Structure 1
Amino acid sequence: MRESAAERHDRLLALVRQRGSARVSDLATQLGVSPVTARRDVEELAGRGLLDRVHGSVSWPRDATPAPAAGTGGNGLVLGMLAPSSTYYFAEVIRGAHEAAAQAGARLILRISDYRPQEDQARTEGLLAAGAEGLLIAPGWQHPGDPAAFGDWIASLPVPTVLLERRPAAGSPLDGLDRVCSDHAYGVLLAMRHLVDLGHGAPLLMARADSPTAVAVRSGYAEALDVLGLRPPQDVIDSVPAELAPEAFEEAVQALREAVTSGVATAALVHNDVDAIQVMQRLAELDVRVPDDLALIAYDDEVAGLADTPLTAVAPPKRDVGRHATELLVERLGRSSGTPRRHLTLLPQLRVRDSCGASLSET
């Protein structure tokens, strides 16, 4: 994917801010562009007041206030938001943040990392350069090691910052930041308890491992089994996107089919909605029917209700996460730095549909 000028500007600003100053020729090398392109970028950013330029070098303005974003007129708060995606799960988080910002008379500006955590810092520098006075940060972490590899910089940001849907390691520098998260362990427990109350034994888990939510669902599954006094019927079935790895997806579906036909399990929780719908479709082709042969619950509730057999689903409070995080950030910007930080945890809901054989309701 070709890098846009805006993304290149973000990387340039990040490099200059880290170093304090840099030669334009060095920036060209670091950015992997020609000296002509680097000079043109520097001239544009200097013209907007985002950099100081002197004799072939540039520096971060020490006393300059970032230029207000276009359309703000310099009035009202400007809030920056970094999200790993603008679709699926995070579309609702962004919507909630935007609504809360508008209600507070603030402007929300958004940058997307496309789940590339190595670029989170540059995207955030772009938000600061655009005038963000406070930040909502959902890093593009996908793997357990990503917070340590790509997260320390967040704790040293120069403006108030609220983490979204991310739980850093206890005791880490990021653990001291404000944050708003969904309690995915609670959501998993809701699903498991519902299935057990319907008369099923310990449900199986089929889950991805490519996002913080997926990791939280997996750990929540182990906790729920312990709370309910159950033993896992077998190991967690590793799931992958069907369009990216069709053979691995087929292997996962076959493992679930075998568990059902052999009597190992009569219920399953699948993360996420898209995978759950595709799993149900493929199982039908293999003569395993939902809910007759298998009670199925999806996790995320983005499109679960649109399946041929509407899927019961755990619904994290995505919109409320964005709204409460924005309200917390606005409040933080208006209060002293000595005010205690807050960790706000919101509880998911279980939306009961047809895929477990129960009547339509919400708990």
Structure 2
Amino acid sequence: MRESAAERHARLLALVRERGTVRVFDLAGLLGVSAVTARRDAEALAARGLLDRVHGQVSWPRTGAAEGPGTGTGTGTGTGAPEGTAPGGLVLGLLAPSAGYYFAEVIRGAHEAAARAGARLILRISDYRPEEDRARTEGLLAAGAQGVLVAPGWRSPDDRRAYGDWLAELPVPAVLLERRADPGSPLDGLDRVSSDHSHGVLLALRHLLDLGHPTPLLVARGDSPTALAVRAGYAEALGTLGRTAPGAVVESVPAESDPAGFERAVRTLHEAVTEGRVSAALVHNDVDAIQIVQRLAELGVRVPDDLALIAYDDEVAALADTPLTAVAPPKRQVGSHAARLLVERLGGGAEAAQDAGEEPVRRHLSLLPRLRVRASCGAARAASRTSTD
């Protein structure tokens, strides 16, 4: 079986942790990959704060960093404690479906909050295989985690129902991360921290409506909890705004894995624009939005001249040829708040409540996304017209 990027990153981190400092050129031979791949991996891990990179070499961070995918090892603390330990022995586990794209910032936020609390953070990656979530979480416990932050690898509501209830049976405190539970389910009684995607969608639609566009069309995937939350938020926002959708949600798919499906989505949006039914769209996610803009340009539809567009996620939206206005979920803050909540559960807050004869109060914390306005919705052009009329 071909090694995944997450597995390769885990091997790279293990090598650097063992050796302290390694030349990037040497990593290629040690990992059995090309020099280009080794350099890209090193840059990606350094960008996430997991390694220090200077003058063609990478080093293990002196202040500690979250461990790589699946390694089951932790971080130093920069406090003089032995490597792999933390003051008081506090160890947090984090299960994430990915170490890249959306979840890189969630992980970074959790790591920073854990470090500030003097705790060690250990990380496992599920690679969006929900059937493996339980075993990987048990691996975190076996590695010493006293509490866990869990973002299950669910892709659909069926996954949540089939691979979710075990979380409520864990013998340690658990915080559900960037996921929602079915009301009344065992998981609904857990602490959780998540982005309020309904609020993010509402921000986007209001912005486009304020610019004078008729009701925007939604172009979205359906293969992740965030995608499903964006879809649900779109329906909710339409009701709040008293609007009717200009057409059915356009099913978006990754261009690299389903070129024909991607082309169908672009053609559907192109037709809606050229027929005058749509002048604005919200697209989940950034990567799809950038590729859709490129393909629409080839078909003669320009952003923002012919179509105002807002992306959802704000991971790479600013890097498009025409920088994309985007909804930015508070990913880093989600990780930070969740880690702080877990530290509180482990650090005495729960015990104090129990000593007073009280049951600890569980929390469902929703953090609000922001809208980052750039060129793709024509906001600057609209503002200029308004000021000169």
TM-score range relative to shorter protein = 0.7 to 0.9
SS at match of 1:260: helix
Q: How does 1:238-257 map to 2 (within 5 A)?
A: 238-257=251-270
Any idea what the Cα deviations from partners look like across 1:75-118, whole Å, max 9, x if unmatched?
43100000000000000000000000000000000000000000
CA contact 2:84–2:120 (8 Å) conserved in 1:
no
CA contact 1:299–1:314 (8 Å) conserved in 2:
yes
Any idea what the Cα deviations from partners look like across 1:174-222, whole Å, max 9, x if unmatched?
0000000000000000000000000000000000000000000000000
- Per the TM alignment, residue 144 of structure 1 is displaced from its structure 2 partner at its CA by 1.6
Task: Say whether residues 1:280 and 2:301 are aligned partners.
Answer: no
Task: Say whether residues 1:291 and 2:308 are aligned partners.
Answer: no
Task: Say whether residues 1:102 and 2:123 are aligned partners.
Answer: no
Q: Distance in 2 between matches of 1:171 and 1:204?
A: 33
Q: Distance in 1 between matches of 2:143 and 2:157?
A: 31
1:335 partner amino acid: G
SS at match of 2:379: coil
Q: Which residue of 1 aligns with 2:336?
A: 323
Q: Which residue of 1 aligns with 2:98?
A: 85
Q: How does 1:56-205 map to 2 (within 5 A)?
A: 71-72=84-85, 75-205=88-218
Work out which of the residue numbers 213, 225, 238 in structure 2 matches 1:212: 225
Any idea what the Cα deviations from partners look like across 1:58-85, whole Å, max 9, x if unmatched?
xxxxxxxxx9967117843100000000
Q: Distance in 1 between matches of 2:288 and 2:322?
A: 14
- Per the TM alignment, residue 244 of structure 1 is displaced from its structure 2 partner at its CA by 0.4
Aligned-residue CA RMSD in angstroms?
1.8
- Per the TM alignment, residue 2 of structure 1 is displaced from its structure 2 partner at its CA by 6.3
Q: Distance in 2 between matches of 1:288 and 1:101?
A: 47
2:364 partner amino acid: H
Q: Which residue of 2 aligns with 1:335?
A: 349
SS at match of 1:359: helix
Q: Which residue of 1 aligns with 2:365?
A: 344
Number of residue pairs aligned between Structure 1 and Structure 2: 299
SS at match of 1:202: coil
Q: Distance in 1 between matches of 2:310 and 2:112?
A: 30
Q: Distance in 2 between matches of 1:118 and 1:154?
A: 13
Q: Which residue of 2 aligns with 1:38?
A: none
Change (3 A) 1:133 1:266: same
Q: Distance in 2 between matches of 1:239 and 1:121?
A: 30
Q: Distance in 2 between matches of 1:239 and 1:267?
A: 16
Q: Distance in 2 between matches of 1:314 and 1:307?
A: 15
Task: Say whether residues 1:358 and 2:379 are aligned partners.
Answer: yes
Q: Distance in 2 between matches of 1:225 and 1:2?
A: 44
1:84 partner amino acid: P
Q: Which residue of 1 aligns with 2:324?
A: 311
SS at match of 1:329: helix
Q: Which residue of 1 aligns with 2:77?
A: none
1:323 partner amino acid: S
- When the two structures are superposed, what TM-score results if normalisation uses the length of structure 1? 0.80
Change (3 A) 1:73 1:198: closer
Note the residue ranges of structure 2 that are not aligned, 5 or more in a row: 8-71, 75-82, 382-389
User: Matched residues, percent identical?
Assistant: 74
Change (3 A) 1:73 1:308: closer
Q: Which residue of 2 aligns with 1:264?
A: 277
Any idea what the Cα deviations from partners look like across 1:240-289, whole Å, max 9, x if unmatched?
00000000000000000000000111000000000000000000000000
Q: Distance in 2 between matches of 1:356 and 1:3?
A: 40
Q: Which residue of 2 aligns with 1:39?
A: none
Task: Say whether residues 1:223 and 2:244 are aligned partners.
Answer: no
Change (3 A) 1:130 1:3: farther
Moved over 4 A (4+): 67-70
CA contact 1:84–1:113 (8 Å) conserved in 2:
yes
- When the two structures are superposed, what TM-score results if normalisation uses the length of structure 2? 0.75
Of 334-343 and 173-182, more deviation after overlay is shown by 334-343
CA contact 2:91–2:121 (8 Å) conserved in 1:
yes
2:349 partner amino acid: R
2:244 partner amino acid: R
SS at match of 1:163: strand
Q: Which residue of 1 aligns with 2:44?
A: none
